[in-house]
Structure 1
Amino acid sequence: MVLLLAGCSVEVAPDNQTSANTSEPAGPARWSDATTEQLRDAINARGAHGLDQMAFDASASDEAGLTKQALTYAAALARGATDPTKLYEVYTVPRPDPDLRAGLAGALRSGDVRGWLNSLAPADDNYQRLSKAYVALRTDPATRHANIPVTGDAIKPGATDPRIPTIARELVILDYLDEAAAQGQQYTPAMVKAVQGIQADYGMKPDGVIGEEALAILNMSDVDRARAVAVAMERLRWLERTPPATRIDVNLAAARLTYWRDGKIADSRKVVVGEPDTETPQLGSPIFRLVANPTWTVPRSIQEKDLASKGAGYLKANNMKWENGWIVQQPGPKNSLGLVKFDMQNDHAIYLHDTPAKALFAMIQRQRSHGCVRVEDALGFAEMLARDGGVVDEWHQARGTGKETFVKLPKQIPVRMLYQTVLFDDAGGPIVRNDPYGWDDRVGAALGFKAGRALRVESGATDVGP
């Protein structure tokens, strides 16, 4: 069986190059029995990519059908099986856009459709770890986590219960408990405090009693874990394969920032991001300048929701003035942007900044802002960026003015606002964290998974800052 690839000219050579430098003209891109079998094998093995809940047809035997199936599956590996711009109101993170038709033509001519398909998904270590974890969760009973039995008996402070070790492990994974405190079968004061914290973050009565509601958060099944891992792989497929070597990645789910310099992690620190209902969007947007001693023009939404009932005394106490119909907070230690703002280029008025509300960084769930990203030790981070950009002297002079002053960076720093609920422990193993925005649900559903746990953080913004 030999079939011609529909739409592929015989002049198209592998890797989208012409055949001008070869002595023989490039041959036509044709399907053979071998390449057809490779396509079917690849689609049947799609569980390695967490795509086994989606129906990819592998039954075609005609020219057009095989080509369509190959390009559909290739697109799922290369760009993702779902479209984040349709799943979310805002998604501007740079995405891959390979020439799949030319790639398939080259693969058919070389007789290696399998190798070409294998080259399309992310090749980094994290993706490979996720793939192995997903396959294990779906097929290997020996790797399964012990679920916490729901017996109907609540666990009260001081009690001894055989479920405690498993509960403690989940509390450690979710960052509510230090690993050193996760010992034995007694429900210790340290664990009680951790449970109270998780209850408060999820809108429960923080009484420290482990009942059905608390267990619903802690008791993640292997089905839940497999779904989260598959979603994590899909989100990695959305991303360009070679991101800028120097960049800033913000994980909105974990509320953490990572600064990459020349391909290596130079810094990592906590951030405060948008609370549920004012979520920080998934953006790709560069920092182009530092702002020392920034002013803050209060957005209409915050002005109407949080300041409408405030009088002149409140505005004066917080160094706010009316200017041209807007409330503008003047520079200073009380300014909601703190002492530095990291200006970014986007249409959504989202940026990184300092904050006077330092206590928020000590919280586990740091989804507490109105949408912008507050950076822990923002002055230290600004100093780092200024030094790396060769403008540290200008930055020091700007800070010393006490007035709003702009320092342009010689080279813009790309920023990606991402959302990943699966992180990796010190041994490189994937651990499933909570989903504060509930954003895994729509991706999981689009990948063919049944609805997951719809448990959302209920943080509540604690100030009027952006």
Structure 2
Amino acid sequence: MKKLYLLSLLLLIVIGCKKEAPKTKPVTVKKTVPAIILTDERTVEIDTGAIGRYKSETLKQFYLASENKTVWGNLKKRTYVLSQFEKAEALGLEPEDYKFSQLKKFEQRISSLSDTDLATYDILLTYNFEKYLNHLYKGKLDPKKLYGNWDLEEKTFDVNTVLVKAFNRNKLDSIVENIQPKAETYKELLKSLEIIKDFPDDKDIPSIEGVVKLNLKDTSNALIAIKKRLLFWKDMSGKDSLTQIYDQKTFEAVKRFQERHGLEPDGVIGAGTIKALNYSKEHRRQQIIVNLERWRWFSTEFAENYFIINIANYSLNVVENKDTTLVRNIAVGTNKRKTPVLTSKLRTVVFNPTWTVPPTILKEDVVPAMKRNRNYLAKKNITIYDSSGNIVEPSAWNENKPNRYRYVQSPGYNNSLGLMKIMFPNHYSVYLHDTNHRNIFGRNNRSLSSGCVRVENPLELAQHILDDEGTWPQDRIDTIIASKKTTSVKITKNYALYQWYWTAWSKKNQLLFRADIYDLDADLYSKLRD
């Protein structure tokens, strides 16, 4: 009986301890690196202090997988890595970012290296090859550290696992191709780097100056330099007498040049065309390189269905099952109020939206206008509300405390958002929408908005994405619009949104460029070469 009592008491104590014991936190298990298969060639022990000097956790884990022994004893493997660094420029990278010259010197005296030097060489090869692979997969720089309005999904890359598996299978040559973006546009951009390399030196072609506008049959001294530029970029072929006359042949060449640069192909040589003509070969090469870097920041794989917006090209493409089903002209934010670069998912179509004046527009546009004319908002069908939701008459509006109020524009054809907006999660309170300035889409420069993206013919776009099952015919949308009631409709089909920024690409071996409307290219190139 006494034994039974003691056993019961012991059980109670155990149960009681379990109840009182603190909850244990889940242990984060580090991903183990596959063991490295070493060759029979010369290997030496590596001092862990030499590895620690690089302050790289991935480097430390890599050498733990080889029991802190050198791994690059195989000549073929070393040669492959060195060859990648040597031709890094073909991918828009800089060989010396990966210590190519230093590594090459080590390789040239590989047979006479001391154990210490061999270990140093081995660590340098690994460290720089991992850096190279990371740069190819997700870019050299982090856009979130460069820009306050770039919000892209973070790309994670288990460089050790990828490298070791390829190392063990003797398939190092497949890594570089496999980790780069798969998009055809990226591949064509790489090809454009080859194309521009083959162009001759253009330092002897003078800048075009003193031109306001030139039309067909005009005469100008500047036409000689213009023709030289057109011949250089192969928009004009054959020999030319280089006269000062704007003839038909030059006119056609100018139109081809304008089309390649996203300009109105009207043959009129104005400020935009002159600016594009004055770009040098080296400037265009740098532009290609920064766009390759941007591609590496973006998603590696595209969703099945998506909207892709190129801010610099003022274009929106709807892609479904790898087929472009709709193309739209768009307007984007000004340089002062840039459209953010982001990745998201489409959620809702709102018909007959109201528009609440955002803080920036309130401060910079509305308040100054109201101070000049108290009827400014009334003319725009905008109602002022106080913090309790009561309507405030313009005459009672306190111009010294404008942030106390909410300013809401009623739905309608002349609403600032037009007749429709498409919502998606983001940190910038931006969306796609119609506009009450529908004539802007005929303009060449459409950097006009306050950050949101304005879309041409948006109701057709709404009908396209909502009518997945034939339940949203156009007359249903027309009925909603006619009601002037704000109506939100969930988008049932999954669409990703890629709102990105490119100023260079190529198509069918033809170089294509766009104006760098946010002045990002030169600064990015400078940082890439720091």
Q: TM-score range by the shorter chain?
A: 0.7 to 0.9
Residue 500 of structure 2: which of 418, 425, 432 is its match? 418
Structure 2 portions without partners, runs of 5+: 1-41, 46-58, 107-117, 231-253, 390-404
Residue 104 of structure 1: which of 163, 186, 189 is its match? 163
> Which shifted more, 408-417 or 68-77?
408-417
Show the counterpart of 2:73: 32
Residue 401 of structure 1: which of 451, 474, 483 is its match? 483
Show the counterpart of 2:523: 442
Instruction: In structure 2, give the amino acid aligned to 1:55.
Output: D
> Which shifted more, 237-246 or 169-178?
169-178
Call closer, same or farther: CA 1:121–1:54 in 2, change over 3 Å: farther
- Counting only pairs closer than 5 Å after superposition, residues 287-326 of structure 1 correspond to structure 2 as 287-308=346-367, 309-310=369-370, 311-323=373-385, 324=389, 325-326=405-406
Cα distance in 2 for partners of 1:30, 1:396 equals 69
Cα distance in 2 for partners of 1:307, 1:83 equals 36
Call closer, same or farther: CA 1:104–1:159 in 2, change over 3 Å: same
Question: Root-mean-square deviation (CA), in Å?
Answer: 2.8
Call closer, same or farther: CA 1:159–1:107 in 2, change over 3 Å: same
Instruction: In structure 2, give the amino acid aligned to 1:176.
Output: L
Identity rate of aligned residues, in percent? 25
The alpha-carbon deviation at position 170 of structure 1 amounts to 3.8
Call closer, same or farther: CA 1:419–1:389 in 2, change over 3 Å: farther
What do the CA deviations read for 1:340-362 (whole angstroms, capped 9, x no partner)?
01011112101000001012111
Show the counterpart of 1:7: 61
Given that residues 150 and 215 in structure 1 are in contact (C-alpha distance below 8 angstroms), is that contact kept between their aligned partners in structure 2? no
What do the CA deviations read for 1:170-194 (whole angstroms, capped 9, x no partner)?
434333342xx55xxxxxxxx15xx
Given that residues 350 and 372 in structure 1 are in contact (C-alpha distance below 8 angstroms), is that contact kept between their aligned partners in structure 2? yes
Show the counterpart of 1:187: none
Rg larger in structure? 2
Show the counterpart of 1:75: 134
Given that residues 6 and 67 in structure 1 are in contact (C-alpha distance below 8 angstroms), is that contact kept between their aligned partners in structure 2? no
User: The residue matched to 1:162 in structure 2 has which SS?
Assistant: helix
> Which shifted more, 78-87 or 384-393?
384-393
Call closer, same or farther: CA 1:147–1:389 in 2, change over 3 Å: farther
User: The residue matched to 1:267 in structure 2 has which SS?
Assistant: strand
- Counting only pairs closer than 5 Å after superposition, residues 154-165 of structure 1 correspond to structure 2 as 154=211, 157=214, 158-159=218-219, 161-165=223-227
What do the CA deviations read for 1:13-46 (whole angstroms, capped 9, x no partner)?
xxxxxxxxxxxxxxx9943322122111111110
Residue 99 of structure 2: which of 33, 57, 68 is its match? 57
Cα distance in 2 for partners of 1:271, 1:73 equals 37
Residue 417 of structure 2: which of 337, 340, 345 is its match? 337
TM-score (norm 1): 0.79
User: The residue matched to 1:284 in structure 2 has which SS?
Assistant: strand
The alpha-carbon deviation at position 215 of structure 1 amounts to 4.1
TM-score (norm 2): 0.70
What do the CA deviations read for 1:150-177 (whole angstroms, capped 9, x no partner)?
3766586421533444462543433334
Cα distance in 2 for partners of 1:164, 1:11 equals 61
The alpha-carbon deviation at position 445 of structure 1 amounts to 1.3
The alpha-carbon deviation at position 448 of structure 1 amounts to 1.2
User: The residue matched to 2:325 in structure 1 has which SS?
Assistant: strand
Cα distance in 2 for partners of 1:147, 1:351 equals 47
- Counting only pairs closer than 5 Å after superposition, residues 261-300 of structure 1 correspond to structure 2 as 261-300=320-359
Show the counterpart of 2:3: none
Cα distance in 2 for partners of 1:116, 1:54 equals 21
Instruction: In structure 2, give the amino acid aligned to 1:243.
Output: F
Call closer, same or farther: CA 1:389–1:232 in 2, change over 3 Å: farther
Call closer, same or farther: CA 1:155–1:55 in 2, change over 3 Å: same
Given that residues 91 and 283 in structure 1 are in contact (C-alpha distance below 8 angstroms), is that contact kept between their aligned partners in structure 2? yes
The alpha-carbon deviation at position 92 of structure 1 amounts to 1.8
Structure 1 portions without partners, runs of 5+: 13-27, 183-190, 199-213, 450-466
Show the counterpart of 1:149: 206
Cα distance in 1 for partners of 2:93, 2:283 equals 15
